[in-house]
């Protein structure tokens, strides 16, 4: 049944696409009326440089576009340029310090003016202005200059050899803004430009008619869009707000909407919605991993503010027997089944995707309570005082386990607490409002950076397909501490000389295979030395109405990356 | 002129017991109130004693038995992790009832006190009502975030993690829910104060304290009773909303509001799951409401004689 | 009464200033952060730069006075400029900007006002219109079938939270009832919908039915209970007997004398409720995606958007103070014996 629908839509696509080109007159654009999209988090701004939120980046991706994008397989594809520059085609210099983009001639902005290299250069200047508070400034890390060689050629120069030069102007987080529109919005003035931020001029298939922040965006087809006969839809209603259940219901049960984003719902709830027969869930996998971070420092409340979660070691989590036993006691397939269904896979790795970086040396898909018990027993952890938790030298195996508030995470907490109690580890649970937990407020004791608990659970990922900067989260000097106002990405405070040395090697290595080899080793060091317990490789689950064709779920870039190709299946 | 309780006035403190017996006799004749009282006692007793008698632990997960419909082994079925819903209802009731009752009591005491004092003493009216305005204006969520940030660790170390958060929740809900009662009571007292029987009592030199206790309070009882009834429901629901936002109890700690919230997603698959907590909350609120009605009638001397 | 009103209005200013400072302290101290909802892929140095650009790190008191100036001086001036077209020299001044949308908070509030007033306001009116007759009849016929049913329904209505009743009506009216049926109702409120003709009015009506009913249920429950209780207190008073004795018809006795004298607690509850119309209805708005002021507030709280939270809460505070004053004045009109002077 599914297969047939898939075949039919593929057939429809192959019939429609040539027709659009064959007919090729203006009347074809906008032939399918309105398409409605619902995001349960509402977009608050349409300038992705001023907000890194996924909802903002993805809604803006229908309007403003980058020079190159990732496709659904994580490969780079040329978007506003003729080809993706590489060393082979001469676009990237031999010494890996510069990259030259050649813009496709004839592209115009939605206001009819020409798209030139000056706009690209302006975008770089805009984001790199230190007073602007640009959320995507890491995309421009290491960039020393951006030169407009001629109207259609741009060269980006880096301060050192950069094996992966596809940071600036690639992917939904780094689109090109129009220089003419944003000229007065540089630096500190960025915030005052609400008109520009709400209604950016772009090269994408749609343009904004009305933007109501945190509510709804009305868009219409861009009549100056470079591809003839596209987009098929004349207008877009982009609604935000509510919750994932309601969004899923609106697409799959009531049929009021055509596309719903990121349905983090229990698998049986999704299955029930699908039964209604109005829509189909689709899943895709990026590198997102739900994991338990193990604190390498001592989080005891008896320590002073300067020492808590700063001084090493943790009273017991440094013992390989303990962290291995904690991991063995977990039934990962069950977690996947209960929490994520189609949108989850068992993983033992920190970096499970792209496939080249997925290490196969670890295995963890069977629960082994007895083995875990034996391991603790052997290491001398026994319940000597009969209180139900094991102890050794007066240290009790009692952990505080925190996470952000979210139904699935709370189920995981309850399950894992029970498994750990079976092997004699006591657990106290705590959940914290996500805006506080991820808020990074140095005054709050409850942020995930402060890590005032023994273990904590959350999910993390990286953009694009190269994990180098993500792997840097295991470097010793990235650990948060009072000296850095609790900033830093090394949440578990992992510290391993071999890891640091190997990561340095990675930064100087070119060639996918060699990089993947090092990446896998880094992954193994982190997991085997008890930096974290990976739990679930999470996918993105979205749903589209059965009458909406052309949807290709892409987790490496904006989900709405190919909205120009969407069309209505007659029915 | 018969607003004053006559037999009270004549036998001031001599036989207070007989007065309460009178009230009880009257209360007993109110059918709704008696049914309410019985249901309420059953609920309270079962949440207090139930966990000792019922075989399942509310946090015990039996993953093979998940999503079961009601059966003899699990009279209310099991949830998505295979926890026994009946055990969770019993455990959840303890928290919800305790939060509801305490918050209600706090709101009643503080609200009535502020309302009566502000209404009766003109000089205190301004400051107290401005204070009420302030509390009405405080945004509950940021306030809770601040309170939790400042006090959670201290209270946790003193009373344990659950005790600590319990005190926090009850105080927070109580502190932010007395204002309506205060405003309503004050409004009634303002009007009452000008009534003839109060003037009469004052003219014979009754002290303000006796005046409030004997003449004012009994006459503002009915709005207070309504506030109490509504207050319980409000506290239980506020607690569930806060738990959902991550500001409430630890996640493995069931409450009625939370059980209701968690099962809303399963409304179509397992409708019984929303019915249990929904029914428990409604029954509690209804029983308290009827008890309030009965008590009000019993305390009203004009009805008592009938 | 007039001098009382004037005195109270003047007293309102220091009260409100104090309230605004307390609110500001609470909002600032609360640990949510404007960068908290960003993906974890954005590193902490960048987050720090974002905070710096937003001015989050300035001293507390500086931020407070900046807010005072923007709220009490700049925004009214800009409003005046926009309505009259005069130039009052506000060019170049930074307005009160929301951290999340980087747009003026006042514009956001103005944008949200219509749907909130439309849905929550209608619900309030509907709620009062249903509640008053129920309360009055319930009290007049105490312990009749009508009273028992009214009590039962309103108490259940009050103890069922909107996150449940809202979803329940959606499942019934949007999911179970087929889309092409006459009884089908939209589950998602369209905030861009404009009423221009009869058809669009019908649609507006349909999309308002569910949120309005869910909200009105809560309001009805509350007000009808207070009306009933207060009526019961008054029905047994001597003046009622006197009125009946002197031959007044039953309807005049009840509607003119008893109802009027029973209104004091009801007026208090209604007056306390009106500001909450502007506060929006956080949960109901979320369930039906009405995206009004309530949703604006909750998103701002979650996003650590201090200017928005502060401004919304403060407007709410102004309304509370004003409507409580209105209630006080109404007391005097309802019962002329009440004097404040």
Q: Taking CA C293 as the corner, what is the angle to CA C288 and CA C296, rounded to the nearest 5 degrees?
A: 85
Is C151's Cβ below 8 Å from some Cβ in B? yes
Query: Does A240 score more than 80 pLDDT?
Result: yes
> What number is the ipTM of this complex?
0.82
Query: Does A178 score more than 90 pLDDT?
Result: yes
Q: Which of C29, C232, C283 sits opposite B241 (nearest CB)?
A: C283
pLDDT in tens, A251-306: 999 889 999 998 888 888 898 899 988 999 998 898 999 999 999 999 988 888 88
Cα A317 to chain center, whole Å?
A: 29
Q: Do A415 and B60 touch (CB under 8 A)?
A: no
pLDDT at A375: 93
Q: B288: distance to nearest CA of chain C, Å?
A: 10
pLDDT in tens, A343-352: 899 999 999 9
Chain B residue numbers touching A338 (CB-CB < 8 A): 63, 66, 80-81
- Which one, of B176, B288, B191, lies nearest residue C267 by Cα? B191
Percent of chain C exceeding pLDDT 90 equals 11
CB A104 within 8 A of CB A98: no
pLDDT bucket at A65, cuts 50 / 70 / 90: very high
In the 8-state DSSP scheme, what is residue A48?
T
Chain C residue numbers touching A171 (CB-CB < 8 A): none
Scored b (16 or more CB within 10 A) or e, C243-272 reads beeeeeeeeebbeebbbebbbbbbbbbbbb
- The residues, any chain, with a CB within 8 Å of residue A324's CB and separated by 6 or more, are A372, A375, A530
Q: Which of B132, B142, B260 sits opposite C164 (nearest CB)?
A: B260
**Within 10 Å of residue A257's Cβ, how many Cβ atoms?**
26
Q: Do B133 and C268 touch (CB under 8 A)?
A: no
Q: Which of B153, B247, B252 sits opposite A301 (nearest CB)?
A: B153
Instruction: Tell me how many residue pairs between chain A and chain C have CB atoms under 8 A apart.
Output: 197
Single pTM value for the model: 0.84
Q: Do C159 and B237 touch (CB under 8 A)?
A: yes
Is C217's Cβ below 8 Å from some Cβ in B? no
Distance CA B229, CA C257 (A): 27
Q: Do B236 and C238 touch (CB under 8 A)?
A: no
Distance CA A540, CA A39 (A): 13
Cα-Cα end-to-end distance for chain A? 16
Q: Do A52 and C104 touch (CB under 8 A)?
A: no
pLDDT in tens, B3-58: 444 444 444 444 455 677 877 888 888 888 899 999 999 999 999 888 888 878 88
Distance CA C82, CA B263 (A): 50
pLDDT in tens, B176-195: 888 888 998 998 898 888 88
Is C222's Cβ below 8 Å from some Cβ in A? no
Residues in C 114-143 with any Cβ partner in A closer than 8 A: none
Q: B46: distance to nearest CA of chain A, Å?
A: 25
The Cβ-side half-sphere exposure at C300, using a 13 Å CA radius, reads: 30
Structure tokens at A43: 């977009």
Q: Which of C102, C107, C188 sits opposite A239 (nearest CB)?
A: C188
pLDDT at A187: 80
Question: How far lies B164's CA from each of A401, A405, B157, B244, in Å?
Answer: 17, 19, 8, 18
Among B265, B266, B270, which would you mutate to test the A interface (most chain A Cβ atoms within 10 Å of its Cβ)?
A: B265
Chain A residue numbers touching C188 (CB-CB < 8 A): 38, 239, 242, 246, 250, 256-257
CB C165 within 8 A of CB B281: no
Q: Taking CA C45 as the corner, what is the angle to CA C41 and CA C47, rounded to the nearest 5 degrees?
A: 65
pLDDT bucket at B236, cuts 50 / 70 / 90: confident
Q: Do A52 and C108 touch (CB under 8 A)?
A: no
Q: Do C174 and A216 touch (CB under 8 A)?
A: no
Q: Do B223 and C160 touch (CB under 8 A)?
A: no
Angle between helices B85-120 and B272-299 (to 10 degrees): 30
Strands (E), chain C: none
- Which one, of A286, A174, A295, lies nearest residue A539 by Cα? A286
Among C139, C148, C221, C265, which would you mutate to test the B interface (most chain B Cβ atoms within 10 Å of its Cβ)?
A: C265
Q: Do A414 and B61 touch (CB under 8 A)?
A: yes
pLDDT at B244: 65
Is C331's Cβ below 8 Å from some Cβ in B? yes
Nearest CA in chain B to A410: B251
Is C190's Cβ below 8 Å from some Cβ in B? no
pLDDT in tens, A28-63: 788 889 999 999 888 989 998 887 788 899 999 999
Chain C residue numbers touching A449 (CB-CB < 8 A): 44
DSSP readout, C154-178?
A: HHHHHHS-HHHHHHHHHIIIIIIS-
Q: Do A433 and B269 touch (CB under 8 A)?
A: no
Q: Do C46 and A188 touch (CB under 8 A)?
A: no
pLDDT in tens, A84-118: 998 888 899 988 899 999 999 999 999 999 999 99
Q: Do A218 and C192 touch (CB under 8 A)?
A: yes
Nearest CA in chain B to A431: B246
Q: Residue A431 pairs with which residues in a beta bridge?
A: A403
pLDDT at A16: 42
Residue showing tokens 């006075």: C65
Is C49's Cβ below 8 Å from some Cβ in B? no
Is C178's Cβ below 8 Å from some Cβ in A? no
Chain B residue numbers touching C338 (CB-CB < 8 A): 190-191, 194
Determine the average pLDDT of the residues in B146-173: 79
Question: How far lies A248's CA from each of A224, A266, B228, in Å?
Answer: 33, 12, 39
Q: Do A445 and B153 touch (CB under 8 A)?
A: yes
Q: Do C97 and A191 touch (CB under 8 A)?
A: yes
CB A207 within 8 A of CB A63: yes
pLDDT bucket at B303, cuts 50 / 70 / 90: low
Distance CA C263, CA C144 (A): 22
């Amino acid at each position: 049944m599914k297969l047939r629908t898939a075949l039919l839509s593929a057939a429809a696509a192959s019939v429609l696409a040539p027709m659009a080109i064959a007919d090729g007159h203006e009347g074809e654009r906008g032939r399918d009326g309105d398409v409605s999209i619902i995001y349960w988090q509402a977009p608050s701004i349409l300038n992705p440089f001023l907000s890194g939120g996924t909802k903002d980046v993805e809604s803006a991706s229908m309007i403003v576009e980058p020079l190159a994008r990732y496709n659904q397989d994580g490969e780079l594809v040329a978007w506003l340029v003729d080809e993706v520059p590489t060393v082979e085609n001469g676009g990237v210099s031999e010494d890996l310090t510069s990259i030259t983009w050649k813009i496709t001639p004839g592209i115009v902005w939605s206001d009819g003016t020409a798209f030139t290299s000056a706009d690209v250069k302006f975008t770089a200047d805009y984001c790199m202005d230190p007073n602007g508070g640009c959320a995507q400034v890491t995309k421009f890390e290491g960039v020393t200059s951006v030169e407009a060689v001629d109207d259609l050629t741009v060269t980006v120069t880096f301060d050192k050899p950069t094996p992966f030069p596809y940071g600036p102007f690639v992917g939904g987080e780094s689109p090109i803004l129009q220089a003419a529109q944003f000229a007065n919005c540089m630096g500190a003035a960025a915030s005052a430009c609400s008109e520009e931020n709400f209604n950016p001029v772009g090269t994408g298939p749609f343009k904004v008619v009305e933007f109501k922040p945190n509510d709804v965006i009305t868009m219409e087809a861009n009549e100056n869009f470079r591809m003839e006969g596209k987009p098929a839809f004349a207008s877009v209603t982009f609604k935000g707000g509510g919750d994932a259940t309601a969004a899923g219901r609106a697409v799959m049960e009531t049929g009021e909407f055509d596309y719903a984003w990121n349905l983090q719902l229990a698998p049986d709830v999704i299955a029930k919605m699908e039964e209604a027969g109005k829509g189909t869930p689709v899943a895709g996998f990026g590198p997102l991993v739900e994991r338990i971070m193990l604190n390498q420092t001592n989080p005891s409340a008896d320590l002073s503010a300067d020492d808590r979660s700063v001084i090493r070691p943790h009273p017991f989590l440094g013992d390989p027997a303990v962290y291995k036993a904690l991991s063995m006691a977990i039934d990962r397939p069950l977690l996947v089944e209960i929490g994520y269904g189609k949108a989850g896979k068992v993983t033992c790795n920190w970096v499970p995707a792209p496939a080249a970086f997925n290490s196969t040396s670890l295995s963890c898909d069977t629960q082994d309570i007895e083995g875990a018990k034996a391991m603790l027993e052997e290491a001398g952890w026994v319940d000597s005082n009969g209180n139900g938790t094991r102890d050794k030298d007066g240290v009790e195996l009692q952990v505080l386990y925190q996470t952000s508030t979210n139904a699935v995470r709370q189920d995981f907490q309850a399950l894992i607490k029970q498994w750990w109690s079976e092997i004699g580890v006591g657990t106290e649970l705590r959940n914290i409002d996500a805006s506080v937990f991820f808020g990074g407020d140095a005054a709050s004791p409850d942020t995930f950076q402060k890590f005032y608990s023994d273990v904590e659970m959350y999910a993390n990922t990286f953009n694009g397909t190269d994990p180098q900067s993500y792997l840097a989260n295991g470097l010793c000097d990235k650990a948060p501490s009072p000296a850095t106002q609790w900033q830093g990405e090394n949440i578990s405070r992992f510290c391993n000389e071999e890891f640091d040395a190997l990561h340095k090697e990675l930064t100087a290595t070119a060639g996918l295979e060699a990089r993947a080899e090092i990446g896998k080793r880094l992954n193994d060091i982190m997991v085997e030395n008890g930096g974290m317990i990976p739990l679930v490789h999470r996918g993105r689950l979205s749903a589209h109405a059965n009458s909406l064709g052309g949807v290709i779920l892409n987790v490496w870039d904006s989900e709405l990356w190919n909205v120009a190709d969407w069309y209505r299946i007659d029915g | 002129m018969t607003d004053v309780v006559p037999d009270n006035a004549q036998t001031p403190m001599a036989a207070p017991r007989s007065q309460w017996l009178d009230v009880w006799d009257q209360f007993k004749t109110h059918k709704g109130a008696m049914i309410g009282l019985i249901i309420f006692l059953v609920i309270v007793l079962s949440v207090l004693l139930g966990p000792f008698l019922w075989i399942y632990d509310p946090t015990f997960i039996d993953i093979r038995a998940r999503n079961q419909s009601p059966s003899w082994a699990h009279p209310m079925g099991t949830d998505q992790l295979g926890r026994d819903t009946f055990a969770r209802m019993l455990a959840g009731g303890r928290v919800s009832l305790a939060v509801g009752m305490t918050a209600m009591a706090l709101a009643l005491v503080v609200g009535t006190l502020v309302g009566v004092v502000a209404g009766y003493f003109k000089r205190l009216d301004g400051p107290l009502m401005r204070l009420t305005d302030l509390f009405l204006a405080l945004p509950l969520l940021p306030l809770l975030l601040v309170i939790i940030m400042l006090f959670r660790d201290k209270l946790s170390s003193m009373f344990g993690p659950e005790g600590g958060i319990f005190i926090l929740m009850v105080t927070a809900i109580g502190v932010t829910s007395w204002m309506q009662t205060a405003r309503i009571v004050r409004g009634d007292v303002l009007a009452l104060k000008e009534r003839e029987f109060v003037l009469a009592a004052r003219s014979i030199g009754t002290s303000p304290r006796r005046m409030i206790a004997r003449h004012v309070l009994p006459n503002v009882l009915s709005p207070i009773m309504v506030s109490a009834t509504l207050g319980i429901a409000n506290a239980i629901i506020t607690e569930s909303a806060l738990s959902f936002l991550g500001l409430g109890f630890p996640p493995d700690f069931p409450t009625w509001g939370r059980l209701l919230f968690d099962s809303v997603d399963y409304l179509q698959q397992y409708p019984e799951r929303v019915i249990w907590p929904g029914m428990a909350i409604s029954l509690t609120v209804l029983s308290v409401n009827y008890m309030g009605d009965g008590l009000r009638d019993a305390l009203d001397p004009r009805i008592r004689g009938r | 009464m007039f001098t009382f009103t004037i005195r109270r209005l003047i007293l309102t200013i220091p009260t409100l200033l104090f309230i605004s400072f307390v609110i500001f302290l609470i909002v600032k101290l609360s640990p949510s952060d404007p960068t908290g909802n960003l993906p974890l892929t954005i590193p902490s140095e960048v987050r720090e730069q974002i905070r710096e650009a937003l001015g989050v790190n300035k001293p507390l008191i500086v931020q407070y006075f900046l807010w005072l100036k923007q709220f009490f001086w700049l925004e009214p001036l800009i409003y005046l400029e926009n309505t009259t077209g005069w130039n009052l020299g506000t060019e170049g001044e930074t307005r009160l900007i929301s951290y999340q949308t980087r747009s003026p908070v006042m514009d956001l509030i103005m944008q949200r006002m219509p749907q909130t007033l439309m849905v929550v306001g209608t619900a309030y009116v509907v709620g009062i219109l249903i509640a008053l007759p129920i309360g009055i009849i319930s009290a007049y016929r105490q312990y009749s079938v009508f009273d028992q049913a009214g009590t039962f329904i309103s108490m259940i209505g009050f103890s069922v939270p909107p996150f449940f009743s809202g979803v329940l009506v959606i499942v019934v009216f949007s999911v179970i009832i087929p889309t092409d049926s006459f009884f089908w109702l939209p589950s998602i409120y369209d905030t861009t919908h404009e009423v221009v003709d009869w058809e669009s009015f019908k649609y507006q009506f349909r999309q308002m039915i569910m949120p309005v009913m869910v909200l009105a249920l809560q309001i009805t429950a509350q007000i009808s209970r207070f009306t009933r209780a207060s009526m019961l207190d008054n029905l047994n008073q001597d003046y009622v007997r006197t009125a009946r004795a002197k031959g007044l018809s039953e309807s005049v006795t009840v509607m003119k004398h008893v109802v009027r004298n029973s209104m004091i607690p009801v007026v208090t509850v209604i007056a306390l409720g009106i500001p909450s119309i502007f506060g929006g209805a956080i949960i109901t708005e979320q369930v039906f995606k009405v995206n009004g002021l309530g949703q604006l507030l909750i998103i701002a709280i979650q996003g650590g958007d201090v200017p928005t939270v502060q401004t919304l809460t403060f407007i709410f505070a102004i309304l509370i103070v004003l409507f409580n004053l209105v209630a006080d004045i109404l007391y005097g009109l309802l019962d002329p014996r009440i004097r404040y002077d």
